[in-house]
Chain A
Amino acid sequence: MKIVVCTSHVPDSATKVNIGGDGKTIDKAGVNFIISPYDEFAIEESLRFKEKNGGEVVAVSLGGDPHKETLRKTLAMGADKAVLLKDESSQDSFSVARAIADYVKEVSPDIVFFGKQSIDTDNAAVGSMVAEMLGIPSVSVVVKLEMQSGKVIAEREIEGGHEKVEARLPCVITAQKGLNEPRYPSLKGIMGAKNKPIEERAPAARSPKVQLLGMRKPLPKNPGKIVGTDVSAVPQLVKLLHEEAKVI
């Protein structure tokens, strides 16, 4: 089995966001970067697929040199090979997907894993776009996955429930929390990853289809009122919700 897993390198979810000098991106000073949390479920699932079915796992990330850190961690968890699609320009989902699809086409994998979304831009689009570009099925927001002769049965989260989806292989899966428990890299894995090469590729030029005009912070909320400090405040709270906020 040929398995590809795509990861993204993003600010930690504890990051306090400040807008950078360009007015379009965040100020990266002092920001800790991590593998996008949903990608960890994708990596874990790709490794389990390999352990069950044999084959190799190729890790792919698009971005600048700092993304190598993420790729290195993916190798340490157990991926066989890593490829950095080197592109430091700020890109929309479509052009990110195009570069990934061009590379993945070459690998011709049986299955491709993504996290359900990258927790920076929150588009939740690249995985499904890559699938459409490759002309293969996709299942997004997957919490359970099984393979049966030539197809997968995937459970995806929907509003108030789950959908069971049958998809032909090859296909794209985007992982949701709950799919598995990502492993920690072993010491041996970490040492081994240091010596594995990270291949660099230069994607073809693409022009974005969505233009970013600016980034700003949401207006701060005015501090509200403390209605009280014990149970006697409850009637007053209900009155405010009913008469002032009119929400109950």
Chain B
Amino acid sequence: MKILVFAEQRDHKLKKTAYEVVQAARTVADQLKGEVVALVIGDAVQSFAGELGAFGAKRVLTVEDPRLLQYSTTAYAKIVADIALKENASAVFLSATAMGKDCAPRIAVRLDAGLASDCTSLKVEGEEIIATRPVYAGKALTDVKVVSSVKVFSLRPNVFTAGTGNDSAASVEEANVQLSEEDFGCRVVEVAQSKGRLDVAEADIIVTGGRGLKAPENFNIIEELAGVLGGAVGASRAVVDAGWRPHDEQVGQTGKTVSPSLYIAIAVSGAIQHLAGMSSSKYIVAINKDKDAPIFQVADYGIVGDAFEIVPALTSEVKKLLGK
């Protein structure tokens, strides 16, 4: 059995999630006596594609074309599916990032394959891969088995650990896929990235503020703490709906589901739809005036008190610790 991993790169750098997925594929392949082949797509990717060897890919295939500098849903889906067929892969793994979530369904259709999306755990039982995937934003978990002959799995970022890799090298081979203008039915023409701003979906530490902060300008204490910790700013639905913060910071069932190492909820009461989106964080800290706030039910550590006194003190204490 062979697993093809579509390893995502942006701006000529492999994403951390690419290592995570290769490592997860390696773990599954070891139990099934299979092999892992990784695929990197872009305009020029040869120079770094081999890095995936250290995480368990014996072979790395590259598809390069100047038209692939920017992402194209249709072209990328075609390339991944064509290579999967050529390689006779029985499973395709990719990460459930903005790009992975966008092209995985199209890859599955092209391969007549079932898709288990946003998986948070994979285990091997006999010859089968059983995937666990959260539903209802994590209020429940399902175990699923893909029953088509080719299977597609997208894995939630930040959940599978990549480790630091070893010193194994991969052979890097150029693969050819014929692309016509027709294959570029949609393509990215511009990327606007907020420089230096971390996204909650990718951050290892998230500091979230809620309605208890009373006014949008009071988010400065959240931003300062997040800044010192090197984390991202998150927001509850209430503050996003009030227009205090942009929607891409919203954590919860109608925002993003996150699982950072540390989640600090400040003046967030913990509505059920918010808890669903962050309960799988490794450590949760709650700071809230109301000792009965539901957020304390899921918090590992809590301080009952006024955010406006506690948060600045916390920021300076962390600064002291980190020598900043």
Contacts and interface: CB of A to CB of B under 8 A. Distances in A.
Interface string B101-116: 1111110111011111
Nearest to B106: A132
A14 B273 contact: yes
A1 interface: no
B209 interface: no
Nearest to A37: B254
A166 B317 CA distance: 48
A222 to B, nearest CB: 8
A210 B144 contact: yes
Interface residues of B, number: 96
A119 interface: yes
Interface in B76-125: 77, 97-99, 101-106, 108-110, 112-118
Nearest to B231: A248
Given A94-B115, A125-B108, A209-B147, A165 B188 contact: yes
Interface stretch (A57-65, A155-163, A188-196): A155-163
A30 to B, nearest CB: 14
B171 interface: no
B273 A13 contact: yes
B194 A248 contact: no
A168 B201 CA distance: 30
B185 A136 contact: yes
A123 B74 CA distance: 19
B46 interface: no
A245 B145 CA distance: 34
B118 A213 contact: no
A107 interface: no
Interface string A225-248: 111111101110110111001011
Which of A13, A131, A178, A216 is most buried by chain B, counting CB atoms within 10 A of its CB?
A13
A86 B62 CA distance: 44
Interface residues of A, number: 86
Contacts of B103: 128
Given A157-B248, A230-B305, A245-B300, A93 B322 contact: no
Contact of A159 (B199, B246, B254, B314): B199
B298 interface: yes
Nearest to A166: B189
A119 B102 contact: no
Contacts of A224: 284, 296, 299-302
B130 interface: yes
Interface of A: 11, 13-17, 19, 24, 26, 37-38, 92-94, 97, 119-129, 131-133, 136-141, 143, 153, 156-168, 171, 176-178, 208-218, 221, 223-231, 233-235, 237-238, 240-242, 245, 247-248
Given A161-B199, A229-B304, 5 more contacts: A128-B104, A159-B201, A177-B255, A210-B144, A245-B282
27 contacts: A13-B272, A26-B136, A94-B108, A122-B137, A123-B118, A125-B104, A127-B105, A128-B102, A138-B106, A139-B73, A159-B199, A161-B191, A161-B194, A161-B199, A163-B71, A164-B189, A165-B187, A167-B186, A210-B147, A211-B145, A214-B142, A215-B142, A226-B304, A228-B303, A229-B305, A237-B285, A248-B318
